[in-house]
Copies of this chain bind each other. A is one copy, B any other.
């Protein structure tokens, strides 16, 4: 249950109620808001006088639910806005991993030349084997910061585990919680304490219910700026790396108030399919795309098969602009 507390109830009283109901307490859109477990279905008599209004939830999808807030959340990503009533679809590009200054600079120049503003690049790679490339770590973060400074780009990079989440929060403009880390409460609870936007990727074995509940850790902890990212689930089909769940995206659009960004590169895992899939994603009317592109995919240290080269990325942008327009969106 979500409770909006009456104006004028003092902080001490709010804290007392919060303790009594074992509730989270946040400030949201000028209101003092308490969130209890969803099995609380009635306002207890003891607090009824303090409550201005309340929402009974079907499940632990509460703050993220359209039932609570019908309008899609508007989120600032550097200089641009997505969600709300913006009808913007942000095209985020860059390599799977930051590998060198030369490489990430080429990516930055590509984005700049296309008037795009958000650069992706992994520094802590959540590899499933200890014997493969693990990312540049903090050196990579510093390169991303350098690109931000030099090119005015907004930077997004991924936290692999809680041991370096503070660095990610410090160096990155948008915090990416990866598919393998999205149950990680060490990360989620840290993200709740900043106001930087947080992009949560769906785990490949994660239900939509659990996916949105992961956002509740951040929202109920005090950070309203969450974006969801569908990147493919694991199914019996192995010709493609994962299966992009656009049915799930339709469900998220119908039932949640969170902006949605899609990652077709990881979903299919092969460059040949990124363009048609990206067109499909844009046609859904989504808030953004994450596309992996590398100056020279053949020598990439991770995800070589799925990264576009820069010419392919230029073409992709052009095609996506047309599709976005056809569904009333702007590709930015």
Contact residues of A with B, CB < 8 Å?
Answer: 24, 35-38, 60, 62, 126, 128-132, 160-163, 180-181, 183-187, 203-210, 213-214, 216-217, 220-221, 232-251, 253-254, 267-268, 272-273, 276-277, 279-285, 319, 322-323, 325-327
Contact = CB atoms under 8 A, between A and B. Distances in A.
State the oligomeric state as a number of copies: 4
Contacts of A319: 327
Nearest to A209: B239
Contact of A210 (B128, B184, B280, B323): B128
A232 B216 contact: no
A6 B9 CA distance: 69
A126 B279 contact: no
A168 to B, nearest CB: 13
B221 A130 contact: yes
A245 to B, nearest CB: 5
B221 A208 contact: no
A160 B62 CA distance: 24
A237 to B, nearest CB: 6
A53 to B, nearest CB: 19
A63 to B, nearest CB: 10
Given A60-B131, A208-B239, A250 B277 contact: yes
B254 A272 contact: yes
21 contacts: A35-B131, A60-B129, A60-B130, A126-B183, A128-B183, A161-B161, A186-B186, A205-B205, A207-B238, A208-B239, A209-B239, A234-B236, A235-B235, A243-B245, A247-B273, A249-B276, A279-B285, A280-B280, A280-B283, A322-B327, A323-B326
Instruction: Give me the 10 closest cross-chain CB pairs, A-B, nearest first.
Output: A205-B205, A250-B273, A161-B186, A283-B283, A326-B326, A60-B129, A180-B183, A280-B280, A240-B247, A163-B186
B250 A243 contact: no
B246 A280 contact: yes
Nearest to A282: B283
A36 B319 CA distance: 42
Contact of A131 (B210, B220, B234, B238): B220
